[in-house]
């Protein structure tokens, strides 16, 4: 058992060093790594994509589905962040750059690297959307993988930190989806509220509605 654990640790370190070796070779590549590994850029883009589903809905059915998707994503994020808080409190893993000579492209925070907060959030959103809008979800999953790989390349996380973040995001989204019968009535009420607000809005009323 200890031999298997040591093998996984060594593999984790090897992949981390291999990806981090890409940093510092090109200013353009470093820019892409910094953008992907940033704590806010990709998560904000993913959040906006979820909200955009409501704005681009073409009819009542799509609007209600988009609202359910939004609720599912929000619940998944809350669940994953709660579990993440517990895991971060129970297990402390130093950031790669604090224990290894790596090329660091980002900040020097020394909180626990396991699991990855950013990856957990990104994949919780992406997998939640996958239940409702596959094409949008595929884009979100690509962006989430981009985030995960660049955070490894930037020396901020080990591959295992990202992998556990993916699993945590997936499990949280699946559990949230199972709760849909509980929040489906809320989605219908929110849809009705949206129509009332749209009906009360001057420009919309002048066009005669949708």
In the DSSP assignment, the letter for residue 59 is S
> Average pLDDT of 59-81?
92
| Conformational region of residue 209, where left means phi above 0, alpha means psi within -120 to 50, and beta covers everything else | left
> Which has more pLDDT, 166 or 33?
166
Residue 92 has pLDDT above 90, yes or no: no
Q: Of 138, 140, 139, 115, give the one whose Cα is nearest residue 125.
A: 140
Structure confidence at residue 108 (pLDDT): 62
End-to-end CA distance of the chain: 63
Q: What is the CA radius of gyration of the chain?
A: 20
The per-residue pLDDT for 71 is 95
Q: Which of 164, 150, 148, 68 is nearest to 115 (CA)?
A: 164
Cβ pair 65, 132 in contact under 8 A = yes
C-beta atoms surrounding 203 within 10 Å: 7
Which range, of 111-120, 126-135, 179-188, averages the lowest pLDDT? 111-120
Q: Tell me the domain boundaries of the chain.
A: 36-100+113-197
Integer angstrom CA distances of residue 139 from 88, 135, 192, 209: 29, 7, 30, 31
- Residue closest to 34 by CA, chosen among 97, 100, 109, 104: 104
What's the half-sphere exposure (Cβ side, CA atoms, 13 Å) at 134? 0
- The tokens for 189 are 């009420």
Mean pLDDT of 26-41: 88
CA–CA distance, 190 with 65 (Å, rounded to integer): 11
Q: pLDDT tens digits for 116-125?
A: 889 999 999 9
pLDDT band at 208 (very low <50, low <70, confident <90, very high): very low
Write down the pLDDT at residue 206: 46
Tokens of 196: 């009332």
Instruction: Give the span between the Cα atoms of 66 and 73, in whole angstroms.
Output: 10
pLDDT classification of 95: cutoffs 50, 70, 90: confident
Distances from the Cα of 46 to the Cαs of 31, 49, 135, 173, in angstroms? 20, 5, 13, 15
């Amino acid at each position: 058992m200890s031999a298997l654990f040591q093998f996984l640790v060594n593999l984790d370190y090897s992949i981390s060093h291999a990806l981090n070796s890409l940093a510092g070779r090109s200013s353009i590549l470093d820019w892409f790594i910094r953008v992907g590994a940033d704590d806010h850029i990709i998560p904000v883009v993913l959040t906006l994509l979820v909200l955009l589903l409501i704005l681009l809905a073409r009819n009542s059915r799509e609007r209600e589905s988009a609202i359910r998707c939004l609720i599912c994503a929000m619940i998944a994020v809350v669940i994953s962040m709660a579990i993440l808080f517990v895991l971060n409190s129970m297990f402390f893993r130093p950031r790669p750059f604090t224990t290894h000579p790596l090329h660091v492209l980002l900040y020097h925070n020394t909180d626990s690297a396991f699991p990855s907060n950013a990856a957990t959030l990104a994949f919780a959103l992406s997998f939640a959307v996958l239940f409702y809008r596959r094409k949008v979800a595929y884009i979100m999953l690509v962006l989430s993988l981009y985030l995960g790989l660049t955070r490894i390349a930037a020396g901020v996380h080990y591959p295992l930190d990202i992998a556990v973040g993916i699993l945590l995001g997936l499990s949280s989204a699946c559990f949230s989806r199972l709760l849909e019968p509980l929040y489906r009535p809320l989605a219908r009420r929110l849809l009705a509220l949206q129509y009332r607000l749209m009906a009360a809005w001057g420009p919309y009323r002048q066009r005669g509605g949708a």
